[in-house]
Chain A
């Protein structure tokens, strides 16, 4: 009897969150820094002629890709955070804490701040080079941390090593900034504030494919992820190929963090806090349900942040990284203060 009520609880939650995600996604189309009447938004979406051509342009070329980006970025970062928390068996792991998005940022900095010479010689178009740089940067940091994790057994120490790697990476970025031209520094700084409007309609398919690939890998790993909750020795005894699983986790986390960071800049707090929101809502650490709930919560939080960032209206857009900590930081503080009461912390 109780078993059934558990299943219905998670099913209800997933259905509810899906509806909320769709609602917020639609809201993202209707709300923006430019005031467009709702009827005109509907016209633009249904292909009817709009009162102003610029409105149609804003909706189709800006708001739709931005809403899709917010959706995908939220899913990606939240799932990446969950994968890291399970892999490192540490509730305070996340792409930004472990320096993974700083790694991606370094890759981007190398591409953007060393100028066109490097990019041109590699034969990439500018944007592809940025993504490539971010991916290499993120994977390098992840690989360094995983290398340490093979002999540093204490997870807190590992977290601190991750933070140190993050600082090292930041200092390299500062050095690159120091030697770069003013224009390059400006472009890099704007990117660093986080921006969900960075993906154009033309780039959207590429971004979508990369993110969805990462998410699919994550979902395919839910069985070994559940075994990993018992620790590596138990997981190995249950037949999990630890090395393969870790490599796939590395690939998925790298893909999810790097693509999102490359397109939108380093967005903080989503990866760290959303898995906690999901566990608190779901009251379970079973990845079969926790993964979809985390993904939906990530989308909801970032869609919400995107709406908040457009609140100043015609005065411009608040950088997304000024909004995410408003939701993320209180959650983390709540979780830490109440950790004795929260089940998944205790063993």
Chain B
């Protein structure tokens, strides 16, 4: 059964109006479907139009043509107040909240639900508590924002969006400026929120590795190809990720889920190895040193490497055999030939 998307749009043109009739179209003819209960990552190069797309979907910027539907209602016709209860945002904007406590910031997320003076009801306080809890920062409620690390601050902003109780949460590069531990924590947190709280979460990121691990669905955006969407694994295996950066000298390795520089190797070597990890890193070293690796022993080749253990490497060249005891010695052997 295919679920119905919470945000959908057909033939959407996005971009800017530059006064009068003039427009700067960033993307045209986009087809969009964002699903509840899923984490969706928006990937693309700098300048691909990720922020423009997010701004358009959040209602901050009108589309040039086409209509965005949210749960069957047009985004244009949802009032300011209703919109603040529908889409929650996490941005990279500069804030002045250093003098507020974590709890106060998360409580700001209740503003769409509170009255004129923003007084919190017992229910509001309960939602704030559970949002803090869900983001793993329940023990930091009384800390000042100024005293938090970047990763903790981002979790607070996510807790704020959670407290807003919106079915949709859009995040603009929530893992930028974070170290690897915080990046993984934030991404896992978002995936858990999407699944457990049944939210539709869309985030733009440059962290492709984490996106491939935790994202249920990918939106690939590039100037040349437009928007390609699909379940992460479908896109990986169909080679769509190779089109994400078409003009760059990099290629996508579907086995390891990463991009690698495309190098044009002059020399080739046959590699014989049983262990997959060992094989991967041997090829890594050979590629870096200008050798293309072949696993096919039936093709004749001047060089052959047999590896059983990292400290036992057999290097054969024109019938001559050398035994090496570390990758360091292997590098020296290779480098010596270049001279």
Contacts and interface: CB of A to CB of B under 8 A. Distances in A.
Interface of A: 2-3, 6, 86, 89, 220, 222-223, 226-227, 229-231, 233-234, 236-241, 279, 283-286, 288, 343-347
Nearest to B97: A229
15 contacts: A2-B142, A223-B118, A226-B104, A230-B105, A231-B95, A234-B89, A234-B95, A236-B60, A237-B58, A239-B81, A284-B99, A285-B99, A288-B117, A343-B98, A347-B153
Contacts of B116: 220, 223
Contacts of A236: 60
A231 B98 contact: no
Contacts of A240: 111
Interface in B122-163: 141-142, 144-147, 153
- List 8 A-B pairs, minimum CB-CB distance, nearest first: A344-B99, A239-B84, A285-B99, A223-B118, A346-B146, A343-B146, A346-B98, A231-B93
B118 A230 contact: no
A229 B104 CA distance: 12
A209 B126 CA distance: 41
B81 A343 contact: no
A220 B115 CA distance: 12
B100 A3 contact: no
Interface string B100-121: 1101110011011010111000
B96 A229 contact: yes
Interface size class of B (residues with CB under 8 A): 35 or more
Contact of B108 (A238, A279, A284): A238
Nearest to A239: B84
Nearest to B150: A347
Contact of B112 (A234, A239, A347): A239
Interface of B: 58, 60, 80-81, 83-85, 87-89, 91, 93-101, 103-105, 108-109, 111-112, 114, 116-118, 141-142, 144-147, 153, 164
A347 B144 CA distance: 10
Contacts of A347: 94-98, 145-146, 153
A237 B89 contact: yes
A151 to B, nearest CB: 13
Contacts of B99: 279, 283-286, 343-344
A237 B84 contact: yes
Secondary structure at the A interface, as helix, strand, loop or mixed, is helix
B51 to A, nearest CB: 11
A286 B103 CA distance: 11
Nearest to A222: B117
Contacts of B87: 237
Contacts of B94: 89, 231, 347
Contacts of A3: 103, 141-142
A189 to B, nearest CB: 39
B80 A241 contact: yes
B95 A238 contact: no
Given A344-B146, A347-B145, A223 B117 contact: yes
B142 A6 contact: yes
A226 B117 CA distance: 11
Contacts of A234: 89, 91, 93, 95
Contacts of A286: 99-100, 104
Nearest to B125: A3
Given A6-B142, A223-B117, A238 B97 contact: no
A76 B95 CA distance: 26
B108 A227 contact: yes
Contacts of A343: 98-99, 144-147
Contacts of A89: 94, 96
Contacts of A284: 99-101, 104
Most buried by B among A233, A237, A238: A237
A233 B108 contact: no
Most buried by B among A6, A230, A285: A230
Given A285-B100, A286-B104, A223 B89 contact: no
B96 A238 contact: no
A197 to B, nearest CB: 37
A344 B97 CA distance: 6
B24 to A, nearest CB: 17
A226 B96 CA distance: 10
A226 B114 CA distance: 13
A239 B100 contact: no
B274 to A, nearest CB: 53
Contact of B98 (A241, A288, A344): A344
Nearest to A282: B99
A227 B88 CA distance: 14
A237 B160 CA distance: 11
A240 B83 CA distance: 11
A233 B118 contact: no
B117 to A, nearest CB: 6
